[in-house]
Structure 1
Amino acid sequence: MQFDHVAEEQQEKNFTLWMQTLQRESPEYLAMHLAATHRPGKPTAACLWKNGSFNICYRVKYEDGFNAIVRFASLGRTIYRREKVENEVATMKYLARYTSVPVPYVLGSGTCWAGPYIVMSFIEGEPLAELLKNPQEGGRPVLNPRLSDRVLRRAYREMAKLVLELSKPEFRYIGALRQSEEDFSVTRRPLTYNMNELATSANLPPQAFPTSVLESATDFFISLANQHMTQLQLQRNDSITDQDDCAKKYVARCLFRKIAQDISTEHRNGPFRLYCDDFRPSNVLIDLQNLSVTGVVDWEFTYAAPAEFTYIAPWWLLLQSPEDWESDLDEFLKRFMPRLRLFLEALRECEDERPKEGDDVPAVPQRLSSRMERSLETGLFWVCLAAKYSSMFDEI
């Protein structure tokens, strides 16, 4: 179902006004001031570093050679800005302490007149998607069809290492991480990518979303199903074309709400896995000399989620977001399946190496690679995508 173009235009106006205000108030000096607040030393220069989907980043250079990133959550692109920033800070600190995933070091965070921000260390590297994308395609990155299997396998292997590492942490509840004096725990609701989309582009009110952690995967899937139904009920524009279209969409959501009760059986009550809605090659930085990962960024929509999200095939193998896939399923699978086979080969190689690193290795049917492979056969891949993406629900 399409989002509400009126709501999107209003949020874009909010973003434009916020950006104009930020630009008028010397954002480089603001970034230097905030960096100096959280990291000792003398900042000497700052420049715009990245204008992303949800954040504006400035790179700050220090007299002693240190570089920091000051990242502002963009007004108009995200509704729950403070919650988003707090979740991302807790996630990066957790990953730095308990995993081998390379993430920026969090120097500090807070709120200034421009809104919530994070100050973190700068990581050298180029987005992996830049290496893999088709240079002849403009706009969002699309996988280069002329890439050799050798290059693609090497890139997928780096992604497979990260996927395996992210699959290790286990949690009792579904929700976002919070850091206390003692440790980290899941104590707040999951803030998902789709919640942000529904709030900004479909006018869904706060009461449409969870307000606390969820204790079972069934509760979570039912919550997602209810969000799809609420969008159909409350979105003011562009939701339906006529009475028949409305009836079809209503029936589909009723059926999905029923299916949601049985999506998770094996892991209904956990353990739940750490999952990032926006984990993809565009957010993985690499050294172009040896293709090794130097850092992974953009962790705002990360939460302990049903294990099924971890166990389905990666959606990012073609670089495109699910809403950009072609509507012809046969054409999509013709492109997707060879890439999935290549990725699973790389993932199995990484799984085979885990005993050398001292990790326990599950039996072959329980391995992550085996579960991902089965997800297309069982349909779990499509069910989870429909659950997570309102923009794809009706197409699926």
Structure 2
Amino acid sequence: MTVFDELAETDGDNKFKAWLSKQEIVAFVSSRRQGKPAGEFDGYLKGSFNLSLVVTFSNRGPKAVIRFPKPGRTATAFRDEKGTTKDSPQHLSPFIIMDYVDGISLATILKQPTETEQDKVILATDTKLDYVYEQLANYMLQLSRLDFSTIRAISKILNYPISRYPTALFTSARAFLHPLANKYLLYLRTQRNIANNREDAKKRFIARHRFKQLISRYCLDNTGSFKLYCNDLQPLNMLVHPDTLRITAVLDFEFTNTMLA
């Protein structure tokens, strides 16, 4: 497992704490609502890379959520994709304003009790899983029916030489896997704290080179079709009604891409 960059995390935390004091956000959201009703702060929704503020309105209309990428946690290149900084309150950050969807995290509903919130989620094994799995299977079936002829290349990445990355669309599995192998080697050379010690670095070096060697031997130069893939499709990013267990929202599709089937 790649070691997390603690220096970058500490710097991000400091930027985030200094940024939290912006109180004009509620008034800004109210100004974007039809009729401009008075707004009131109703709580934070915190993610690993985003912060959302829930706003209620005096006219009892639907709640709203304004979502920002956390300063110091999200690369500027990716933050700029979320919205327009110049239109946000005090040019604060790119933003998205959305309707608030009621529900609680599916992970909270399904997990067995743990001592701390940081513990690994272990799903319960009672009959309520059947209805949840039925819904998830339906979503996965719908996604599986989408076919794509290409895989998109990386367009932006922080602190890495972007000139070393391909920009054209990939039309075959082999064309995708070779740049992927080169990317892993580039990470090994440039990412801070990627290894715990000399022996760990050696193992990572060997594994990456062997992965690259295996592509030509075992990968057919097929041309798709490719499937939609989201590496964050998990119970933690799904909201459900606490009584019926009906899924009310699926979150964090922002880095979804087409991938090998």
- TM-score normalised by the chain length of structure 1: 0.57
Structure 2 matches for 1:341-352, cutoff 5 A?
none
| 1:272 corresponds to 2:226 | yes
Alignment partner of 1:248 is 2:203: yes
Matched-pair contact (CA < 8 Å) for 2:154–2:165: no
**What 5-or-longer segments of structure 1 have no aligned partner?**
86-108, 176-188, 308-396
Determine the C-alpha separation between the residues in 1 that align with 2:66 and 2:237: 17
Q: How many residues are treated as equivalent by the alignment?
A: 254
RMSD, aligned CA: 2.8
Residues 132 and 245, structure 2, Cα contact 8 Å, conserved in 1: yes
Q: Which residue of the other structure, out of 226, 229, 242, is the alignment partner of 1:288? A: 242
User: Residue 81 of structure 1 is aligned with which of 30, 53, 78?
Assistant: 78
5+ residue gaps, structure 2: none
How many percent of aligned residue pairs carry the same amino acid?
A: 29
- C-alpha change, 1:209 and 1:127, in structure 2 (3 Å) is farther
Q: Given the alignment, which residue of 1, 7, 10 partners 1:9? A: 7
Question: Which structure: greater helix fraction?
Answer: 1
Partner of 1:126: 104
CA distance in 2, matches of 1:82, 1:210: 22
Alignment partner, residue 306 of structure 1? 260
Instruction: Name the aligned partner's letter for residue 78 of structure 2.
Output: R
Among 45, 49, 54, the alignment partner of 2:44 is: 49
Whether contact under 8 Å (1:275, 1:305) holds in the other structure is: yes
In structure 1, how many angstroms separate the alpha carbons of the residues matched to 2:166 and 2:40? 42
Which residue is 1:30 aligned to?
Answer: 25
Letter in 1 for 2:34: P
Distance verdict in 2 for CA 1:214–1:238, change over 3 Å: closer
Q: Over residues 152-205 of structure 1, what are the superposed CA-to-partner deviations in whole Å (9 max), with x where a residue is unaligned?
A: 233222222221122222222212xxxxxxxxxxxxx457xxx97xx5xxx544
> Which position in structure 2 is the counterpart of 1:343?
none
Distance 1:115 1:219, change over 3 A: farther
State how 1:145-294 maps to structure 2 within 5 Å: 147-175=124-152, 189-190=153-154, 199=158, 204-239=160-195, 241-242=197-198, 244-261=199-216, 265=220, 268-294=222-248
- TM-superposed CA distance for 1:256, in Å, is 0.3
Contact 1:15 1:74 in 2 (8 A): no
The alpha-carbon deviation at position 3 of structure 1 amounts to: 2.7
1:40 matched to 2:14 = no
User: In structure 2, what is the equivalent of residue 110 of structure 1?
Assistant: 84
Structure 2 equivalent of residue 21 of structure 1? 19
Q: Give TM-score, length-normalised by structure 2.
A: 0.83
Shift of 1:149: 4.0
- Structure-2 residue corresponding to 1:369: none
Distance change (3 Å), C-alpha of 1:43 and 1:16:
farther
- Other structure's SS at 2:84 match: strand
In structure 2, do the counterparts of structure 1 residues 287 and 264 end up closer, same or farther at CA, with 3 Å as the change threshold?
farther
Taking structure 1 as reference, are residues 4 and 115 closer, same or farther at Cα in structure 2, changes over 3 Å only?
Answer: same
Using a 3 Å threshold, how does the CA distance of structure 1 residues 158 and 4 change in structure 2: closer, same or farther?
A: closer
Q: SS at the partner of 2:40?
A: strand
**Which residue identity lines up with residue 250 of structure 2 in the other structure?**
V
Report the AA paired with residue 112 of structure 2.
N
